[in-house]
Structure 1
Amino acid sequence: MSDLLKDLKFRGLVNQITDEEGLAKALEEGEIKLYSGFDPTADSLHIGHMLPVLTLRRFQLNGHHPIALVGGGTGLIGDPSGKKAERTLNTADIVQDWSNRIKEQLSQFLDFEASDNPAIIVNNYDWIGSLDVISFLRDVGKNFGINYMLAKDSVQSRIESGISFTEFSYMILQSFDFLKLYQNNGCKLQIGGSDQWGNITAGLELIRKSEENSKAYGLTIPLVTKADGTKFGKTEGGAIWLDAEKTSPYEFYQFWINTDDRDVVKYLKFFTFLSHEEIEELEGEVASAPEKRLAQKALAEEVTKLVHGEAALQQAIKISAALFSGEIKDLTGNEILEGFKDVPTTEVTEGEIGLIDLLIQAKIAPSKRQAREDITNGAIYINGERIQDLEKIISSDDKIDGKFTVIRRGKKKYFLIKYM
């Protein structure tokens, strides 16, 4: 078995392989070309896409040639795999815009400038967009039996709830992608999540029927799960996106650092490029000293740096440390915005205001009596500093970058004051 396959198995990244012996031999004999597809169903990839992207990267680091396929064509149709209901169809201009954004994000993970084995990006709209109905039905559709398609999990799971002919045809279009890449690029391997097994094997069947003496393979990666049963990549605020404008590096870092002890070793294997020895050492730390959360820190640092870069990682660590220690004054205005994005925020007019009046205006205290009591009891902090002066006036010294004041009531209740 090739070293790459051994590594993928160590990391739990192999769910199914169509011909493991044949693939292992192909990997040992030399460089191969492989692809994974990414349909533009939003204007950004999210962390659910990371596993196939990083698996492509692992192949590239081992000398192989990854092809990232952006589904500008299939994105107009919609993949029924893993979906309980029909997708909403997006317009061509929206799909094109999203396709361009996804291309940019993929370049963060794959090396398109490598001298020996550069990655390439293709868009299946280039061959699907110009395909006429008669050619599609005669040359491609005739290779697919209805019974064969009905037997696939992606279709079976939707038979009762209903599936349109549009989504029913998705399997054929994805199969056509594999055939085109096999013919035009010499691509011999398709990888994808375990929900793509039916589409991948259908593509291999189309290649077998279309090309004599063909050699092509399929490999699926497990879908990422969480030990507590909740959906991976989702928080109260929604999906965890790779776009820093949609999910800030601080929020991204916090997602990973809050990983359950039961999941952290699995995620280290999935999402980082740490060595087997480093991961096993961290696994030992989880068992012997879980309270130190060294594995979670390593996971958060590795993945945040990979997605957002070293500078954004350091900023996320700085914000996290400031919130933990209460040293809010060390943060800049932009860091305040990032770290306190989801706390209750009140806009007040620029100028001096008494602390008691501010607590009332920002609904931090329900009455002046309660405000005085909170201040006297030492429950009120301004930018991390405890304030017990009932006559306290909020001045320019209390405004970070002249824009924000952070008020804490008790140990954990934060409020953000924003000056207009």
Structure 2
Amino acid sequence: MTGPLKHIRVLDLSRIMAGPWAGQILADLGAEVIKVERAGVGDDTRKWGPPYMKDKDGNQTAESGYYLSVNRGKKSVEIDIASAEGQATVKALAAKSDIVLENFKVGTLERYGLGPDDLHAINPDLIFCSITGFGQDGPRAKDVAYDFMIQAMGGLMSVTGAPDNTPGGGPQKVGIPIVDIMTGMYAAISVLAALAERTQSGKGETIDIAMLDVATAMLANQAMNHLVSGDTPVRRGNKHPNIQPQDVFPVRDGHIVLAVGNDEQFQRFAAAIRRPDLAEDDRYATNRERVKNLDTLHPLICTQLGERDLADWIEIFGAQKVPCGPINTVPMVFAEEQVKHRQMLRDLPHPLSGTVPSVVSPMRFDRSALSFETPPPLLGEHTDEVLAKLGLTTEAND
């Protein structure tokens, strides 16, 4: 392995998305990530299809696209943690690991003798990170949670989607499991911070990450807009609540996204659409006034943009350094020249299909370059290898 974490071993007891996303980040950074899966069953997401990957002969496999998206670079070990033998194996792995990731319901691992106190007794240096829906304490601590419900509870759906009084208005979730992904990001940041602190203290750490906490933190500017004004943020469609013009605008042959971020950019934008007078109008000259007077500014912009095609505007705004872009479909994203140049999509070798496409990490390092050579593992693919290193046998965990 290469990467800045090539000296780190992670015991990943998590499943589905948030925990595995954190594990995949650490694997991308070079850590050895040992993914523990239920014997004969595996991670829940292995069955979250269609679609499923096809093998070299075009036959459908049991590897779902969902599972493949979040388990790159890991080693899969089948263990029955409900058995005494399985618990002994997890302890043996934890004794030689730096980090443990888990997202069981509160109290589950403690019942198996695998809670943070149990594992710290074996390995005091261990960074133990628990990821749950609601955290380790509080009135809902023991409740199960999924991304969709936390998007709702955490307020994200109240500010996402078209306004209630417009066609298609109403609550809308984000099109990806954004709370799961951000929870995984916060978990990865937390364990890396704990590793850094361990170099000073020599001590391990226990980390408590809750999806609802993450969703609350993600409200960011919308939360502060409410806290400083007392107003309740609402769904505005694609209109930014604080900066204008930032929206989806119709052009002659489709739509364009504009993200004009300051008054200087607005001056260049107004000149580009052949309405330089807008930047001199007191109603629109400053961002504060543009937000207040958006109801009159928006139709003026739409009128001008409707006179040309998308490609024309992309070229014009590009020359004027006005931030803009097309609304790409997922296939169009991978066809973008910049995305291709950055090699964000790569083919990894896979024992069933020959190769499997993978959207790789966006992190770039000069001295500790990341490598992407290991695909998401088959169920139990590395059981013999990993347990042999510990001097254990697979029979003890069957």
TM over 0.5: no
Larger Rg: 1
> Whose RCO is larger (CA < 8 A, sep 6+)?
2
